[in-house]
Amino acid sequence: MRITYERVAGMDVHKKTVVVTRMRVTEEQRVEWETRTFGTTTPELLQLYDWLQEWGCSHVALESTGDYWKPVYNLLEEEFEVWVVNAQHVKRVPGRKTDATDSEWLAELLLHGLLKASFIPPKPQRALRELTRYRTRLIEERSRTVNRVQKLLEGANIKLASVVTDMQGVSARAMLAEIAAGNTDAEALADLARGRLRNKLAELEKALTGRVEAQHRFLLSQQLEHIDFLDEQVAEIEAEIERRLGMMGKPLEASPGAGAEAAPPPAEGTPTRWQAAVDLVDTMPGINRQAAQIILAEIGIDMAQFPTDGHLSRWAGVAPGNNESGGKRYSGRTTKGNRTLKRILVQCAYAAIRTKDSFFKARYQRLVARRGKKRAIMAIAHSMLIAIWHMLSTGEVYRDLGVEYYNQRNKEAKVAYHTRQLEKLTGATVQIALGGATT
């Protein structure tokens, strides 16, 4: 079998140990290999680093689960070409699996160029990923705490959620603070309403009449403080995300046209490539700045790493599955893919289909009747990711096709179909001139 790389290493990574096989091709075209086990602390990984350099290894393949590959990757990525491979793609024959044989198998496959590396973004993007993912966890925790507040109020016979839409709005928050402070006067609490909520003073007074006891007040004050703390944490992380976006990448420079002079240096305050990419993705319906940051933290801004929009969709897990045998197509279930990216795309898809006069709304209405809500939403998420790939590849802002896109796409066929339906209903012959009179 043809040899692609002459000096490689394969690693089976675990929590406490790393089993490594280094392999090289000698001048006599013979393959030599050696296997050793190292610990996963930094001093032991530095010994692994030196051990690989002894043979001049150029490529390293890792097989790991969870996050155990990260310490090894962090120390080796600057010197070696490190590939993190999918364990499903390199399965050995059942019954002959050990850590040592796994590392040998990885090294042998890499030697012959039979492995495919997973997409691992560069360090700045990985840091941005950690920040955006942690911000998502804090927002989720805040939502859970708000739900706990509502559950606590139900136990105290307070039905505020039945009248107020936003339990963390200005009016509701003022009422909750007074309840936690010991105020039980329903009329005084209802008088804290602001804006249009004052039209519901009578309903509020009934909803705020309850049986609030000491434990309710104590727990409510603790939960309100926890919500305030989470709000502060989210604000600080958002500021750090914006700061890092301002540091990542050089400022965008205008591309000179044919025969034009070189573009002048960018003015102060010109957004970086990452900031400009966030603004670009933010132009799509259903996506706000926060969602754009999450999407770009997962996929990056260089679409060269995904040859086509199909590669990106498949990697994200929003493309239909490919399962066909004997000329028959079986389940088209989507793959697992990137869970963080898939989740935010689905959330954005729900927002996009509620945008008036948008292409995504029209597409959803066409699909939902025959495919169901979940499949239709996944199709919208798929379409949005395809559009994002093209936007980042070309630098063009999103241009919506409009709600009438499908009606105008093949007007003659639609007219012919409805004409046949009208003839079946009336029994008459119908002739329609497009753009003219009807006879």
Q: Both tokens of residue 26?
A: 């000698």
Count Cβ atoms below 10 Å from residue 143 Cβ, excluding itself: 13
Residue with tokens 């019954």: 95
Quick one: how far is CA 223 from the chain centroid? 29
Question: What's the domain count of the chain?
Answer: 4
Residues 340 and 229 in one domain: no
Q: Of 67, 84, 111, at which residue does a domain stop?
A: 111
Please indicate, yes or no, whether residues 390 and 279 belong to a single structural domain of this protein: yes
> Is 45 a member of any domain?
yes
- Measured CA to CA, the distance from residue 60 to residue 73 in angstroms comes to 10
Tokens representing 109? 């496959």
pLDDT of residue 439: 46
Same domain flag for 236 and 291: no
Per-residue pLDDT at 39: 95
| Residue 268 neighbours by CB under 8 Å, 6+ apart | none
Residue-level pLDDT at 269? 58
In this structure, are 204 and 300 located in the same domain? no
Q: Which of 51, 76, 111 is the C-terminal boundary of a domain?
A: 111
Mean pLDDT of the chain: 88
| Same domain flag for 107 and 135 | no
CB 385 within 8 A of CB 312: yes
d(CA 400, CA 362): 11
Cα–Cα distances in Å, from 245 out to 273, 276, 305?
9, 9, 20
- Do 421 and 375 lie in a common domain? no
36 within some domain: yes
What is the rounded distance in angstroms from the CA atom of residue 253 to the CA atom of residue 257? 12
**How would you label 102-123 residue by residue, b for 16+ Cβ within 10 Å and e otherwise?**
bbbbbbbbbbeeebeeeebbee
State whether 218 and 154 are in the same domain.
yes
Within a domain: residue 138?
Answer: yes
pLDDT tens digits in sequence order for the chain, 439 residues long: 788 999 999 999 999 999 999 999 988 889 999 999 999 999 999 999 999 999 999 999 998 778 899 999 999 999 999 999 988 777 766 666 788 888 999 999 999 999 988 899 999 999 999 999 999 999 999 999 999 999 999 999 999 999 998 998 999 999 999 999 999 899 999 999 999 999 999 999 999 999 999 999 999 999 999 999 999 999 999 999 999 999 887 544 433 333 434 444 445 556 788 999 999 999 999 999 999 999 999 999 999 999 999 999 999 999 887 777 777 777 778 888 899 999 999 999 999 999 988 999 999 999 998 889 999 999 999 999 999 999 999 999 999 988 888 877 777 788 888 888 888 888 888 777 655 545 4
pLDDT at 207: 94
Strand 7-13 and strand 59-63: the pairing is parallel
In the prediction, which pLDDT does 423 show? 85
Q: What angle do helix axes 273-281 and 373-394 make, rounded to 10 degrees?
A: 140
295 and 342 together in one domain: yes
Distance CA 41, CA 32 (A): 28
Is residue 400 in some structural domain? no
Which amino acid is located at 279 in the chain? D
Q: So what's the pLDDT on residue 264?
A: 47
59 occurs within a structural domain: yes
Q: Are 8 and 111 in contact (CB under 8 A)?
A: yes
Other Cβ atoms within 10 Å of 221 Cβ, number? 16
Q: Do 21 and 44 fall within a single domain?
A: yes
Q: Are 305 and 377 in contact (CB under 8 A)?
A: no
Q: Are 132 and 198 contained in the same domain?
A: yes
Residue 165 and residue 75 share a domain: no
Q: Is residue 189 part of a domain?
A: yes
**Strand ordering across the sheet containing 17-25:** 31-39, 17-25, 7-13, 59-63, 81-84
For residue range 309-324, what is the model confidence (pLDDT) as tens digits?
Answer: 999 999 999 988 777 7
- Residue ranges making up the domain that contains 429: 408-439
Evaluate whether 317 touches 327 at the Cβ level (below 8 Å): no
Task: Give the pLDDT of residue 256.
Answer: 37
Our measurement of the distance from residue 122's CA atom to the centroid of its chain's CA atoms, rounded to an integer in Å, reads: 17
Please say which residue of 58, 81, 111 terminates a domain. 111
Phi then psi for residue 264, to 5 deg, are -70, 160
Which stretches within 112-169 are classed as H helix? 123-155
Instruction: Express each pLDDT in 339-364 by its tens digit.
Output: 999 999 999 999 999 998 899 999 99
